[in-house]
């Protein structure tokens, strides 16, 4: 009773206690689409959002809810909502807050799909975005307009590893009464909890480190509950009368959880990007070991960085925990446990060398994901960006010799041996 359990304990337990009927210790997978109503009154009370409960799995599900409550506890948020992917989470937040004519300020250095959604898709629906340098709080301040409805960025940017100065940016957003929405996929709540630094909304791709095993796609929104949506002119669909439920004001009815209530009633109801209960179970299984895995991810990352920095075949290494990284000071301040397990490095010999390296590793997997327990890598110059010239890649902040590495949990000596073999192959090619 009133233990205020710590992070490691919550990772294992939050969201579930064994039910009295079966005693099941694991979170049961409620593989069902719908739930029998005990009475017409009960059904009506769920439809009217009078009390909590489940009516249809597109809107909520007990297994998915256990995951949501675990995430809310780990982030220290008021409420959370899990959905089918990280991109679904991002779209749900934007469509819940913005309408045609609204404006977003976003980081210019983010995951490609995040950029595409804001740069190309949302403008078709009248929502425009100005992109600014994520490590320049003053530039963010200057970009805010009267119709700006949110500021968005990745705490640790993918793939450039730029670090946002969250407390500084949060101060700016707070002074302008604009929510700060952060993609916290690369840090996870283990490395940093954005609400403690003043952020208001978090989106996660659970596919990555939170799930941690490369077996299920999923996303989540965690609502800090610390944003005042009361300005009816600015946030008319959250605090003003909404078409759902006879003109409900989500803000006046649900206060700290207004945003999640709105996303459930509108986003999940009308767009329907729900997470399958089985995937929720798999993702939760991953979260159980998040603290252990993140510790080892960081440990291995620091070892790999040292190995790469000292390797004759490596031109450069980029990681925020290196003093040479431009955001190193910010990283030390807001990510004291480490700034994640993605490392970028340049291989001597350019595009061809990168290709040869990738083709010569045996243990590390060449694929388009990050945050798996296994070591992963990709060479954008010969895959995702192979159609671009070296110059065009540079414009996007990438180089053709760059390899992106997602450091896994293998024995560190096995990873370095694997890389050593690949470097030898590259050396032969360079001769």
Ligand X SMILES: Cc1ncc(COP(=O)(O)O)c(C=O)c1O
Chain residues in the site for ligand X (CB under 6 A): 85-87, 111, 113-114, 154, 158, 183, 185-186, 205, 207, 217, 219
Q: Give the whole-angstrom CA distance, residue 419 versus residue 358.
A: 9
**Counting contacts by CB under 8 A, is residue 2 touching another protein?**
yes
Nearer to ligand X, 71 or 217 (CB): 217
**Counting contacts by CB under 8 A, is residue 106 touching another protein?**
no
**Counting contacts by CB under 8 A, is residue 87 touching another protein?**
no
**Counting contacts by CB under 8 A, is residue 363 touching another protein?**
no
Q: Give the whole-angstrom CA distance, residue 83 versus residue 218.
A: 6
The nearest distance, CB 355 to another protein, in angstroms, is: 45
* CB-based contacts of 135, cutoff 8 Å, min separation 6: 162, 163, 164, 165, 326, 327, 330
**Counting contacts by CB under 8 A, is residue 39 touching another protein?**
no
**Counting contacts by CB under 8 A, is residue 360 touching another protein?**
no
The nearest distance, CB 60 to ligand X, in angstroms, is: 20
Give, rounded to a whole angstrom, the gap between the first and last alpha carbons of the chain. 68
248 binds, among another protein, ligand X, none (CB under 5 to 8 A by kind): another protein
Which two structure tokens, joined as six digits, stand for 252?
């006046």
The nearest distance, CB 195 to another protein, in angstroms, is: 9
85 binds, among another protein, ligand X, none (CB under 5 to 8 A by kind): ligand X
Nearer to ligand X, 186 or 195 (CB): 186
**Counting contacts by CB under 8 A, is residue 255 touching another protein?**
yes
Q: Pick one of 185, 205, 257, 406: the residue that binds another protein (CB under 8 A).
A: 257
158 binds, among another protein, ligand X, none (CB under 5 to 8 A by kind): ligand X
Give strand pairing partners of 314: 347
The nearest distance, CB 30 to another protein, in angstroms, is: 11
Footprint on residues 121-180 left by another protein (CB under 8 A): none
Q: Give the whole-angstrom CA distance, residue 30 versus residue 135.
A: 43
Q: Pick one of 157, 189, 194, 256: the residue that binds another protein (CB under 8 A).
A: 256
Q: Give the whole-angstrom CA distance, residue 58 versus residue 82.
A: 11
205 binds, among ligand X, another protein, none (CB under 5 to 8 A by kind): ligand X
Q: Pick one of 80, 322, 373, 376: the residue that binds another protein (CB under 8 A).
A: 80
Minimal CA–CA distance to 320: which of 172, 73, 58, 109? 109
The nearest distance, CB 236 to another protein, in angstroms, is: 16
168 binds, among another protein, ligand X, none (CB under 5 to 8 A by kind): none
Minimal CA–CA distance to 277: which of 37, 89, 88, 57? 57
Q: Give the whole-angstrom CA distance, residue 279 versus residue 271.
A: 19
Footprint on residues 40-79 left by another protein (CB under 8 A): 44-45, 48-54, 60-62, 64-65, 68-70, 72-73, 76-79
**Counting contacts by CB under 8 A, is residue 14 touching another protein?**
yes
Query: Please, what sign has the CA dihedral across residues 128, 133, 137, 143?
Result: negative
Q: What angle do CA 328, 77, 56 make, to 5 degrees?
A: 130
419 binds, among another protein, ligand X, none (CB under 5 to 8 A by kind): none
The nearest distance, CB 384 to ligand X, in angstroms, is: 11
Binding string, residues 212-231; x marks residues near another protein by CB under 8 A: ------------xxx---x-
Name the one range near another protein by CB under 8 A: 11-19, 145-153, 279-287, 404-412: 11-19
Nearer to another protein, 171 or 374 (CB): 171
Q: In the sheet where 365-366 sits, what is the strand order?
A: 314-318, 342-347, 402-406, 376-378, 365-366
Contact call for residues 404 and 381 (beta carbons, < 8 A): no
The residues that touch another protein, with contacts defined as CB under 8 A, are: 1-5, 10, 13-17, 44-45, 48-54, 60-62, 64-65, 68-70, 72-73, 76-82, 224-226, 230, 245-246, 248, 252-257, 260, 264
């Amino acid at each position: 009773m009133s233990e205020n359990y710590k992070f490691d304990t919550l990772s294992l337990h939050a969201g579930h206690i064994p039910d009295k009927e079966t005693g099941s210790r694991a979170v049961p997978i409620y593989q069902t689409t719908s739930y029998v109503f005990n009475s017409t009154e009960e059904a009506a009370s769920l439809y009217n959002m009078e009390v909590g409960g489940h009516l249809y799995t597109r809107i909520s599900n007990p297994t998915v809810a256990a995951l949501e409550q675990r995430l809310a506890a780990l982030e220290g948020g008021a409420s959370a909502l899990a959905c089918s992917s990280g991109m679904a989470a991002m779209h749900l937040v934007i469509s819940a807050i913005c309408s045609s004519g609204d404006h977003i300020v976003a980081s210019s250095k983010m995951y490609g799909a995040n950029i595409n959604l804001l740069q190309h898709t949302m403008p078709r629906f009248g929502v425009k975005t100005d992109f600014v340098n994520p490590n320049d709080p003053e530039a963010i301040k200057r970009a805010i307009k009267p119709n700006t409805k949110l500021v968005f960025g990745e705490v640790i940017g993918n793939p450039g590893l730029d670090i946002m100065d969250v407390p500084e940016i949060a101060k700016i957003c707070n002074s302008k009464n604009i929510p700060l929405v952060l993609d916290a996929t690369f840090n996870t709540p283990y490395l940093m909890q954005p609400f403690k630094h003043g952020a208001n909304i978090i989106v996660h791709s659970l596919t990555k480190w939170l799930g941690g095993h490369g077996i299920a796609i999923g996303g989540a929104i965690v609502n800090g509950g610390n944003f005042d949506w009361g300005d009816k002119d600015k946030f008319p669909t959250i605090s003003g009368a909404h078409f759902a439920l006879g003109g409900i004001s989500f803000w006046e009815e649900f206060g700290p959880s207004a945003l999640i209530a709105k996303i459930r009633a509108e986003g999940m109801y009308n767009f329907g990007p729900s997470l399958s209960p089985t995937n929720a179970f798999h993702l939760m299984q991953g979260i159980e070991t998040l603290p252990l895995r993140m510790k080892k991810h960081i440990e291995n990352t620091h070892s790999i960085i040292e190995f790469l920095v000292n390797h004759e075949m490596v031109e450069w290494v980029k990681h925020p925990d290196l003093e040479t990284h431009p955001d190193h000071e910010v990283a030390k301040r807001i990510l004291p446990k480490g700034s994640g397990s993605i490392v970028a490095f340049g291989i001597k010999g350019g595009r061809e060398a990168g290709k040869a390296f990738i083709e010569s590793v045996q243990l590390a997997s060449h694929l388009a994901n990050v945050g798996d327990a296994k070591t992963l890598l990709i060479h954008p110059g010969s895959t995702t960006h192979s159609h671009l010239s070296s110059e065009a890649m540079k414009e996007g902040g990438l180089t053709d010799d760059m390899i992106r590495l997602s450091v896994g949990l293998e024995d560190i000596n096995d990873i370095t041996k694997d890389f050593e073999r690949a470097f030898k192959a590259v050396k032969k090619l360079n001769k």
